[in-house]
Amino acid sequence: MDRLDRLTERLIGDLDRHAESPASACVELAVLGERAAGGLTSAAQARVDAHLDECLACLNAFIEVRDLLQGVAAPAPASAGLRRTLDELIGEASSPRVWRRVVDALRRPLVLRVPAWTAAAAAVAGLLLTWATLQTVGRPGGTVESPSVDRLAPANARTERTIAGVVGSVRDATSNGVDAHVVSVTDASGATYVLFAWGWPTVHAGESVEVVGIFTRADQSSGGPVYQGVATALRRTR
Amino acid sequence: MSAGLLDVVRRCRGGEPDAWRALLPTFQEIGRRSVRSFRLSAADLDDVLADALTSLYAGGLSQFRGGSTAELVAFLRAVVRNRALDFVKERNRWAPSDALDQMDEAAAAPGGGSAPVDIADDECLAFLQQEVATLERKDRELYLMKARGLKEREIAEQTGRPAGTVASQIARLLERLRERLRARGCL
């Protein structure tokens, strides 16, 4: 298809659209049909022809009507497929094929067409929403516990605090060649601190220590308050 | 024939099976001519016509309000063309081609496409319309019939000229239009 063909296609499209909303001076379709069938008086025919000489849109409509009326005058026999469709519509209305066509014909104007990927995305979004809802509903109390600011704040933004207490236990926490240990310290108020510290242990159970570190409260259902965190400095006080 | 066809349609609306059978060849012929420019295969055309027929049988024919054969054929044409447009849209949706991709890209571009090409197309379209309007009436008809997809045999039948003459006249006419478009910078 070269550019002339494409331009011609557009031109015919424009002319067809014009025929759907013709100008007031344009010739009515029925009159064009009469002109094509040779049913106009000579005066009327002269008027129509004069307009067709001037109006490309009406000439286009006239040519189409003439072509269609030519088909009406000498139609070819209907195809076997079309005859079968009509037979099913007339005589076997309960045939599934006919009903499918009828339903399709009724459904087509109503159906909302969306690409398959859009439907798939909507389905995935629905699943995620359902999952999120179930997660929320499934929590004790039915509410989502909002994380404390303390828990969300990055470690480098937290203020270090210093506590003093007695070492309860020291456990090795070396892993993958990195030396570390976990120290449990209890202060004077009875609060327990479980702290992660790098390197070899420098304190022992029963020693009084001062710990500089970052702490957060650990939930515990019974007993005194428990905190967990990272020790940035750990030194004996005596 | 005109009154006869309108009477057939009236009987079809009354639910007479014989009237539907009588309408069938005419409907098929109108349908075939209406969607010539779609270049459908025979099987696709059958599907489109079967769908359109089903729609008419299911009550679509009662929408016809005209009183002349010309209005009736225009109504049937519109029904079949709408089906064909749906069919082509549906088919193109799932069978993207390079051409369609290019169309999509053009449509996605700001302003609905490449501005210089669009402007040039519009200018060339206006120029073509102007050139067609200056043709003699018989050449204008030839051009429009060819553009609507009529075969040379059909054009010959409708104009009363020999098919060979029609073919050569169309060839000369299109070449003349191409030359004019080329001179204008459209080709």
Domain boundaries, chain B: 2-94, 113-184
pLDDT band of B115, cuts 50, 70, 90: very low
| pLDDT of A141 over the 90 cut | no
pLDDT value for A86: 93
Which residue would you say has higher pLDDT here, A148 or A163? A163
| pLDDT of A152 over the 60 cut | no
**CA B76, CA A3: separation in Å to the nearest integer?**
31
B2-94 is classed CATH 1.20.140.10: no
Do A196 and A221 belong to one domain?
Answer: yes
Instruction: Inspect the interface and report whether the beta carbons of B140 and A11 lie closer than 8 Å.
Output: no
pLDDT band of B21, cuts 50, 70, 90: very high
pLDDT band of A156, cuts 50, 70, 90: low
How many alpha carbons lie under 13 Å from residue A103 in its C-beta half-sphere? 8
Q: Is the complex ipTM more than 0.95?
A: no
Instruction: Inspect the interface and report whether the beta carbons of A81 and B46 lie closer than 8 Å.
Output: yes
Question: Domain for residue A22, yes or no?
Answer: yes
Query: Using CB atoms, which residue from B46, B129, B150 is nearest to A79?
Result: B46
Instruction: Inspect the interface and report whether the beta carbons of B124 and A106 lie closer than 8 Å.
Output: no
Question: Domain for residue A151, yes or no?
Answer: no
DSSP H/E element including B148? none
Checking A202-205 for CB contacts under 8 A at 24+ apart, the result is A202/A234, A202/A235, A202/A236, A203/A167, A203/A170, A203/A234, A203/A235, A203/A236, A204/A167, A204/A170, A205/A167, A205/A168, A205/A169, A205/A170
Chain B residue numbers touching A9 (CB-CB < 8 A): 37, 147
**Contact yes or no for A66/A36 (Cβ under 8 A):** yes
Chain A residue numbers touching B81 (CB-CB < 8 A): none
Query: In this predicted model, what pLDDT tens digit does every residue of A120-139 receive, in sequence order?
Result: 888 888 888 888 877 766 55
Q: For residue A234, list its beta bridge partners.
A: A211
pLDDT value for B23: 95
Task: Measure A43 CA to nearest chain B CA, in Å.
Answer: 19
Give the three-state DSSP class for A158.
coil
Mean pLDDT calculated for residue range A46-65: 94
Question: Domain for residue A107, yes or no?
Answer: yes
Which domain, by its residues, includes A59?
A: 3-73
pLDDT value for A221: 60
Question: Would an 8 Å CB–CB cutoff place B4 in contact with chain A?
Answer: no
pLDDT value for A199: 86
Query: Using CB atoms, which residue from A71, A105, A108 is nearest to B29?
Result: A71
**CA A65, CA A72: separation in Å to the nearest integer?**
10
Do A188 and A162 belong to one domain?
Answer: yes
Which of B21, B28, B82, B86 best probes binding to A when mutated, by most A CB atoms within 10 angstroms? B28
| Closest A-chain CA to B155 | A67
Query: Using CB atoms, which residue from A7, A73, A83 is nearest to B1?
Result: A73
| Closest A-chain CA to B137 | A53
| pLDDT of B102 over the 70 cut | no
**CA B69, CA B116: separation in Å to the nearest integer?**
45
Query: In this predicted model, what pLDDT tens digit does every residue of A191-235 receive, in sequence order?
Result: 899 999 988 888 888 888 988 888 887 766 667 788 888 998 888
Q: Among A88-92, B15-19, B146-150, which stretch is predicted with the lowest mean pLDDT?
A: A88-92
Mean pLDDT calculated for residue range B170-186: 93
**CA B187, CA B180: separation in Å to the nearest integer?**
9
- Transcribe B65-112 into DSSP letters: ---SHHHHHHHHHHHHHHHHHHHHHHHHHHS--HHHHHHHHHHHSGGG
pLDDT value for B120: 75
Which of B41, B97, B148, B157 best probes binding to A when mutated, by most A CB atoms within 10 angstroms? B148
| pLDDT of B80 over the 50 cut | yes
| pLDDT of B76 over the 90 cut | yes
**CA A169, CA A181: separation in Å to the nearest integer?**
10
Query: In this predicted model, what pLDDT tens digit does every residue of B30-58 receive, in sequence order?
Result: 999 999 888 889 899 999 999 999 999 99
B113-184 is classed CATH 1.10.730.10: no
pLDDT value for B108: 44
Looking up residue A186, the CATH number of its domain turns out to be: 2.40.50.140
Size of interface A-B (CB pairs under 8 A): 166
Closest CA to B83 of B59, B47, B58: B47
Task: Choose from A20-29, A171-180, B166-175 the range with maximum mean pLDDT.
Answer: B166-175
Chain-wide mean pLDDT for chain B? 85
| pLDDT of B20 over the 90 cut | yes
What b/e readout covers A216-228, taking b as 16+ CB neighbours within 10 angstroms?
eeeeeeeeeeebb
Closest CA to A60 of A123, A1, A17: A17
Question: Domain for residue A90, yes or no?
Answer: yes
**Using N-to-C axis directions, what is the helix angle for A3-20 and A56-73, rounded to 10°?**
90
Chain A residue numbers touching B147 (CB-CB < 8 A): 8-9, 11-12
Chain B residue numbers touching A76 (CB-CB < 8 A): 25, 28-29
**How many domains would you assign to chain A?**
3
pLDDT value for A153: 55
pLDDT value for B116: 46
Question: What residue type is assigned to position A102 of the chain?
Answer: V
Which residue would you say has higher pLDDT here, A94 or A144? A94
pLDDT band of A144, cuts 50, 70, 90: very low
